[in-house]
Structure 1
Amino acid sequence: MVLVLLRLSVGRCTNDQLFETKTVHVGEEVELLCPRERESTQAFLYWFRLVSGRSPHFIGGTFSFNYDGVKQIPRITAKQGNGTFLLHIKETDLNDTGFYYCLKANRLNLTFLKGIILTVKGPEPKIITIIEEPIPGPVRPGDSVTLQCSVLSDSDSGTCPRAQGVHWFRPGSDGSQARLIFTEGGSGGECERRLEIQRPQKCVYNFSKTISSSDAGTYHCAVATCGQILFGNGTKLDIDVVSSCDSHRDNTVLFLLCVALATSLIVIISLVCVVINTSTHCCKATSCNEHSHEKRNEDTLVYSTVRTTGGNRRKAAVTEEAVYTNVGAFQLQ
């Protein structure tokens, strides 16, 4: 964005008067001046503020000729001065930090007149202590571990100080000098949110790492601010390394369990097949016996005949009786 603004000044010589830096403390007043020249044609002057990561913000505007109008927003006033177009900020706070620039628009021409970098400094917080949270239990290679460093400071603001730089150190495995493994700027901190501002203020910084077998040791968090470096109490990282014997034993147990499972499945399947075959044979045998019994009952016939003959009255009655029983008829195939 600054490069674009510099291109707007094409056609005029650049000099040190175009850019300026100002530094004030929180609560002070500051005045930013933009040169204003009277022209025969009507022109417009504008003040903008640019903050990193945001779009330019329009603050106020006026004419190139003398004009008594005043553009006023909370704590900021834009108005004409003697040959100037000034921007007055009272009771500055940290949010007023940014790049302020003044532009002149004359018909289709846009000219860059002034650029001011304003820095608002607040009271440096006093660090009370640094706390490093312990890691619960040993970890194994390949696990992801998050180291946490909490900075307690005597600060009235609700944000972590930008001046803080957090560094993570780890001693050498052979007791050699500690080495730096990670550096985090002040913007990476997360301020603990509370319902009301309390002291001390707690800012939390995290560092995540995938662990290998050689990462065991004590990690230290160091905070650099206000010309001093403070170290935490350290976080000890224990790694649960699996030995080759344990690994071989685990593999053997796993293999035996798999074999036992496969054997159980084979036995269960065999028993199911035997039960099914036995049931099938029993059903067939029962059906055949019932059919044969019915056939024999049908083929068994019993015949019984009674015959009576009459003679003279004088003669005694004679009764003939023929009995046929258990006669079977067989059909030749």
Structure 2
Amino acid sequence: MIIFHLLLMLRVGRSTDDLVFAMKTVSVGDKVTLSCTRHHNALHKETLHWIKLVSGNLPEFLGGTYTFDYKGVNKTPHVTTKQEPGTYILHINEAELSDTGVYYCVKVKDLDMTFVNGTSLRIKGPEPDITAVIQELPSDPVHPGTIMTLQCSVLSDSENKMCPGDHRVFWFRAGSDDSHPSLIYVHGGSGEECERSPEARSAQKCFYNYSKNVTSSDAGTYYCAVATCGEIIFGNGRRVDVEALSMWELQKAKTVLVLLSFALAASLIVIVFLIYTIKNKTGDRCNDAVTASGYQQNQQTDEDTWIYSAVIFTMMKAERNAEKDGKAQREKIYTAVKALGLD
């Protein structure tokens, strides 16, 4: 790192007339070897360095050596730089997508830096089998409170599938203020419904739906995206405008609400009237039953009294002629009443 920062402080000279700049494309997992000519010169203190340039990043120092024979090796599990007869090589073991960039061999002499060799290296990954991502919008206008359904169709070719595993489908939404899309839903590994093309048996179309109860804040642009082979393939996006309810619809909703209120009030009045009527009828029946029971009891008491009086009168009449004494008469009456159990 110290050497790298010192290199940034050096004066940059012009490249040599025999500068070689090449384009190279390899696949993921391949071995890559880049070479830089090394002129043996023991009298001058010259050094060679490999650096990597990637757009948007700072230069990356990968290794350095002298122009004369030197056995020092800069080695990591992924990248190795070392001398070989007449060259200074850079070796990449099992290339990765992140190895894509521009590699320069730079010679430094007396604080002058000269670009000697350059290679634009592209690492090609497996090609995705997705051929198209098509989005569709509902035909009906979208209003708050309604259910909005968006559909995404993913076309793929199973014969060209080179990536392990299934692809995944995502839904993104960018707000009406043109903000960056935010993730709102993720589908599983398989489509809700898939069908094969009758023309090409290897081609198939899978449909993915996203439904939501719409609110006023759901306006924006919706994107369907498919992640496969380390890449994300976006659909063309669809704009969704949430329209406010019209005055006629608001008046209609208000009218329905008023009618429902009247119907509820009428139902409550009918229920109260029925309860009052049933309660009054039940009370009258109870009063009639009590009155009839009292009348029967009074009638029974009058009949019992008449019977007891008749018995007493009969006994008194039978002995009236035989007993004239008042005291004897009272004793007879008492005896008769006691015998009947009326004492």
Would you say same fold, with TM above 0.5?
Answer: no
Q: TM-score by structure 2 length? A: 0.42
More helix by share: 2
Q: TM-score by structure 1 length? A: 0.43
